[in-house]
Amino acid sequence: MSGANGAHVARGAIYPGSFDPLTRGHLDVIERAAAVFPSVLVAVVVNPQKREPLFTLTERKQMIVAATAHLGNVEVADFRGLLAAFAQRIGAGVIVKGLRVVADFESEMSTALMNRSLSGIDTVFLPSDPQFSFISSSLVKEVFFLGGEIDQYVPEAVLHVMRAKRATLRPTEQTEERQPS
Ligand code: PNS
């Protein structure tokens, strides 16, 4: 990409998140961002503010690396602290966020403005594909650990890691699998 703003558009996008775990909705945003921007750095926050992650940082990163192996301009990194500071440090041109529902917009709008105020880096919102708009990492985890099928909501690579994680949990930590009727 080039033009009057070439210096800026030449810099890549950063797509931050907890990715605990990566969903098909996340992957869709990454694929679409990778088609628009010269490069996409998927930035995994080390300590999500919401709650203790189920998956380790290494697991979360490995799942993304495996699921994005088909994309030549996507890399995965982790960061601590302020996203705005990290994005500035790596010279990101833009922050990418996916929007699923109106509630996402309400919270993401103020975050985007704060990030721009702190760093001068703008946020570009990609509307979720309707087929993924109800998918979230927390719902996927809840459904999975209650015995539901999640194949259609997470990439194959994530499914393998989730099955392995479930196998490591003590029986008391697992909820009964749904029995065929
Ligand atoms: O996938 P998530 O949990 O919605 O991702 C949230 C994330 C990691 C993008 C957000 O919590 C974040 O940017 N954390 C870094 C801390 C930060 O910069 N806070 C100030 C936001 S204005």
Give long-range contacts, CB 8 A cutoff, 24+ apart: 117-120: 118/82, 118/84, 118/85, 119/84, 119/85, 119/87, 119/88, 120/88
43 pocket-lining for ligand 1 (C-beta < 6 Å): no
Burial of 143 (0-12, 13-18, 19+ CB in 10 A): middle
pLDDT tens digit sequence for 24-55? 999 999 999 999 999 999 999 998 887 899 99
Copy the structure tokens of residue 174.
């697992």
pLDDT tens digit sequence for 69-100? 999 999 999 999 999 999 999 999 999 999 99
* Per-residue pLDDT at 2 exceeds 90: no
Nearest CA to ligand 1 atom 14: 83
Asked whether 48 and 19 are in contact (CB, 8 A), the reply is no
Q: Respond yes or no: is residue 8 known to be catalytic.
A: no
Average the pLDDT over each of 37-41, 115-119, 172-176 and give the range with the smallest value: 172-176
The pLDDT of residue 165 is: 86
Around Cβ 121, how many Cβ atoms within 10 Å? 21
Indicate which atom in ligand 1 lies nearest the CA of residue 79: 15
Tell me: cis bond preceding 21? Omega within 30 of 0 counts. yes
Copy the structure tokens of residue 166.
């479930």
Distance 4 CA to ligand 1 centre (A): 31
Active-site position among 60, 97, 100, 141: 100
CA distance 162 to 59: 10
